[in-house]
Structure 1
């Protein structure tokens, strides 16, 4: 950690527009009558990129943080030549999140989930007597485990057993990080359910997911990287989504740039994508439904088994609530697109051939839908396109480094006994173990 003056901001309810102070870990406005996200309203309306700060913290003006942690990377945006020429696009900009040292990309977990982890944990500074709890389908757990291990922040991870191969690292994970899993056949929703049980005990602090302003504004740094590199707000924003939190964050960053005034007055068209056949957001949005359709649990788990991009498997995303994904898509005239495993694999090969890096399955879904939109003639060749490669370089990183895997302390059944869960998880942590502050 280093000396840092905490960023100044207040909180605002999206639904009621009421302004109020952050009590340290505020996740919502208790007086709202309907479910709503809250946002950070930063004192600095114009973004100054902080070259004096490392990694992600270059964007500290628009991050709700109290400190600067060690080891962060930052999204890197560059103008594509190879892929752009292949697709016939004049202004394709790639925002790369992952490991690609030649481009200056140093996210050692290979995913933009590091953006959330370094922001969330820097907001956490000063909160004591709690253990942070994070539920994840894989990439988020890897990012939080790495950040918390490096900075000695006690953490409990809840992950589906089928996704444990995502828990790889280039260093042994500090004992302050503990992992529990939902048994084989479980999915991300089951991991969330497990984390919710744990968080009923006062010793544990829920990370908050999309409700956490630090998670969204950390993810929003992808747009901060793109806009400050390009010099203006893009016309299109392509990203694959599971929860849609990254797309909400992109919209919110866009709104801040409109208030900033130095990058134009454009709203990016959000072009978000899902991995067929698991497409609950696409099904609802195409039908113009604010509510997601009912989803049979067993059918959902079957579909999740099929898709390669497991991180896109959120059954209860922040779609319907005020300020959520439905509102973001409506506000930007956005679309929800779909690609299957075969199209995504072709996109992986295309990116490797024309850009030079491996990319994660979720990023490949986003690229596959961009390819489809270009082929169909729906994308104007001269428009500025931001392609958010949310994960890449992981295959190369694992080849170049010694890899350590994190194993679960406990594997719970899909429908566990709540009292037993709390008892066993409490036993993983020393009674005096606290968050650093």
Structure 2
């Protein structure tokens, strides 16, 4: 089912200690270390050789930890904005678009940049992997992994809040190798993560790893690679909405590789990341200059999540504090955490569709709203090279072009199920 691709050569390195080690196949943490830290892939190819478009996201395989090329992928597409740029008074605004927009060469059928994660993570898995991958998601990630695993016959267990089931739409029925379990109505992404942690304790199931998985981060980093290779240089500013911040960490890491490449300049892009008010745990910690997230009441957090329009930005335990996480990325590269409201996002989405010609996801609208506010507040120079990461778009267009099928849950759990309950109900799947 998958086209073979020569395995990318790389070693792993702990961000905390700098110690290098070999990948045992699914390494998620530094070997022999007690301090929580992300690990990074160091690729044999120090300069990026971009392959032809027919490779999809694997055109960037030199900097992806993959051993095979799965079918159906599409790489992010970067273009220079005209209408939006003129409206904002920016002479060098570049849009990196992830979604369905055939006229721009964007053929991402789940309409989210989470596909970049899924094709990279699943491409890291060998054909003899032998375990069922477990993925927790607020919606878009689940849709991406479900599509990739269904198309390529890879066993997958998804854990998603029941309130987010409307995000699990597809243009064809999902194969039986993909199963879905949910946390009950009123729960959030954090609850789905807890459920997935229990599922991973069942024999035969293994955690995808989230931000700890080098393949997830380096897959998302292809947005920065798309922009830099199109523009010919590293941008001055990078705008994106964040729930976990993993995409911004990935952009930072890709930025460092581009500097080492030597052909794109030595600039560290300023990471301008945004949260959807009133759910702003990373913004609150950053403004307090705190590596640790500030205390948050579970019920208050759930209520805040209910209020935000961009549900995918609702991670209560993001990789912000961990060594190599978002706090470190911002301290090293510069930038800021911003906020935007539901109302600002709605206005931004309307502006983008009017001026650029395609609908965008609420999270992408939060990113654009933060850019609009930053320009208004004089935080961005008019001639700066700005990358706007539109993390999802074209969904309305896609839903109008294709019939839809929805994935239904096989089991629904309360907030705090026991391991025995999870083991028993998963066994019945």
TM-score by length of 1: 0.97
Equivalences, count: 428
Distance 1:287 1:127 in 2: 47
Distance 2:172 2:53 in 1: 27
Contact 1:240 1:366 in 2 (8 A): yes
Tell whether 2:157 aligns with 1:160. no
Distance 1:334 1:197 in 2: 37
Contact 1:234 1:268 in 2 (8 A): yes
Distance 1:205 1:127 in 2: 14
Query: Paired residue for 1:107?
Result: 108
Distance 1:228 1:399 in 2: 32
Distance 1:238 1:306 in 2: 23
Query: Paired residue for 2:296?
Result: 295
List gaps (5 residues or longer) in structure 1: 429-437
Contact 2:4 2:67 in 1 (8 A): no
Distance 2:184 2:92 in 1: 46
Tell whether 2:204 aligns with 1:223. no
Quote how far apart the aligned CAs of 1:3 are. Answer: 2.6
Contact 2:279 2:305 in 1 (8 A): yes
Query: Paired residue for 1:383?
Result: 384
* Secondary structure class of the residue paired with 2:282: helix
Distance 1:378 1:4 in 2: 43
CA offsets per residue over residues 35-61 of structure 1, 9 Å max, x none? 100000000000000117511000000
Contact 1:44 1:61 in 2 (8 A): yes
CA offsets per residue over residues 295-319 of structure 1, 9 Å max, x none? 1000000000000100000000001
Distance 2:181 2:375 in 1: 43
Which portions of structure 1, spanning 4 or more consecutive aligned residues, are displaced by more than 6 angstroms?
none
Distance 2:102 2:211 in 1: 30
List gaps (5 residues or longer) in structure 2: none
* Secondary structure class of the residue paired with 1:54: helix
Query: Paired residue for 1:334?
Result: 335
CA offsets per residue over residues 83-130 of structure 1, 9 Å max, x none? 000000000000000000000000000000000000000001234331
Contact 2:241 2:367 in 1 (8 A): yes
Distance 1:202 1:425 in 2: 10
Distance 2:75 2:142 in 1: 18
* Secondary structure class of the residue paired with 1:380: coil
CA offsets per residue over residues 239-296 of structure 1, 9 Å max, x none? 0000000000000000000100000000000000000000000000011000001110
Query: Paired residue for 2:190?
Result: 189
* Secondary structure class of the residue paired with 1:99: strand
Tell whether 2:84 aligns with 1:83. yes
C-alpha root-mean-square deviation of aligned residues, in Å?
Answer: 0.8
Distance 1:238 1:52 in 2: 25
* Secondary structure class of the residue paired with 1:116: helix
Distance 2:414 2:232 in 1: 51
Distance 1:333 1:29 in 2: 26
Distance 2:174 2:229 in 1: 35
Query: Paired residue for 1:24?
Result: 25
Quote how far apart the aligned CAs of 1:426 are. Answer: 2.1
Quote how far apart the aligned CAs of 1:152 are. Answer: 0.5
Distance 2:334 2:201 in 1: 39
Contact 1:24 1:127 in 2 (8 A): no
Query: Paired residue for 1:416?
Result: 417
CA offsets per residue over residues 175-209 of structure 1, 9 Å max, x none? 10000000000000000000000101231010000
Query: Paired residue for 2:172?
Result: 171
Distance 1:302 1:398 in 2: 30
Query: Paired residue for 1:431?
Result: none
Contact 1:42 1:62 in 2 (8 A): yes
Distance 1:82 1:246 in 2: 26
